[in-house]
Structure 1
Amino acid sequence: MTGTRKTTKRTETFTAEERAAMKERAQEVKASARRGSRADKAAEDEAAVVAKIAEMQDSDRVMAERIHAVVKASAPDLAPKLWYGMPAYAKDGKVVCFFQSAQKFNARYATFGFNDKAELDEGTMWPTAFALTRLTAADEARIGELVKRAAG
């Protein structure tokens, strides 16, 4: 079977956008492994996040820029990095929170979410992601509070 590739049911369940995000993640991991010092890596990671935000369409870009500023102000110890081709913020190498543009997955709204590393537990049920159509000052304040808690 050389030169032939079987298609499995698992790959058929992913959208083209999801497959593209997985490829971006693989490239991010490879690029990270090639980098030099920790300071160089941090600077390159932040530059990559800022560049990715600049590529976004208007409404997504505006929200991503504001979220980037809010996260940096609320939790300066979180390290910006790309995660599946989207801006994310990590602690000890683990992604705590992330922004996902609406455009990336042809969605109705952008998303700001938290991974389990955030430990935002409230009782037996709590939100881990928020739909965003625009950001108000109150939204930014709430995001800032959640990020501060998540960063510990």
Structure 2
Amino acid sequence: MSSKDERNLTQVVEKISKMDEPRRSLMQQVHEIIVTAAPMLKPRIWYGMPAYATSASTPALVTLRNDDRLNLAITEKAAFRAAGGVDGELMPAAWFFETVDEATAQRIAEIVRSVVD
């Protein structure tokens, strides 16, 4: 890991550590899911949010938001595919969560992997 990647990771971990509980624990859990599911993505701060990109100099593909609700989002820089089925041509890009159970963790990992496939 390059020194810039290490600094960026430190910034993301610090950003998450400053959140109030229980959000801090949830965001830490989602951060771990993301870096495990797609180890090629590099954590960084993107517009003040924890985010994940293919390198320190490329736009973020996935972001975590700590607003009124916790949010996992795919940025407009990721390749999108229509959802199909009942969602037709809609392209899902954001998911709110309040807890992370096993099924949610698996879905987060699938979403993140789909961004880098």
**Common fold, TM-score beyond 0.5?**
yes
State the partner residue of 1:150.
115
Distance 1:134 1:84 in 2: 24
Q: Which AA in structure 2 matches 1:49? A: V
Q: Post-superposition shift, 1:76?
A: 0.4
Measure, in 2, the Cα distance between the counterparts of 1:71 and 1:133. Answer: 17
Deviation of 1:91 (Å): 1.6
Question: Deviation per CA, 1:47-90, whole angstroms, max 9, x where unpaired?
Answer: 00001100001122111101111111110010100112211001
Runs of 4+ in 1 over 3 A off after TM superposition: none
Shift of 1:121: 1.2
Partner of 1:112: 72
> Which is worse superposed, 63-72 or 121-130?
121-130
CA contact (8 A) 1:120 1:149 kept: no
Spell out, residue by residue over 1:85-125, the C-alpha distance to the aligned partner (whole angstroms, 9 max, x if none).
211001241211010013xxxx1x11110012332412410
Structure 1 residue 43: Cα displacement: 0.3
Structure-2-length-normalised TM-score:
0.87
CA-CA distance at 1:131 after TM superposition: 1.0
Show the counterpart of 2:4: 41
Amino acid at match of 1:50: V
User: Is the CA contact 1:59–1:134 (under 8 Å) kept in the aligned structure 2?
Assistant: no
* Structure 2 unaligned regions, length at least 5: none
Find out whether 1:78 has 2:62 as its counterpart.
no
Q: Report percent identity of matched pairs.
A: 27
Whichever of the two has the greater Rg, that structure is 1
Segments of structure 1 that go 5 or more residues without pairing to the other structure are 1-37
Measured in 1, the distance between the counterparts of 2:23 and 2:78 equals 23
Aligned pair in 2 of structure 1 residues 142, 120: CA closer, same or farther (>3 Å)?
farther
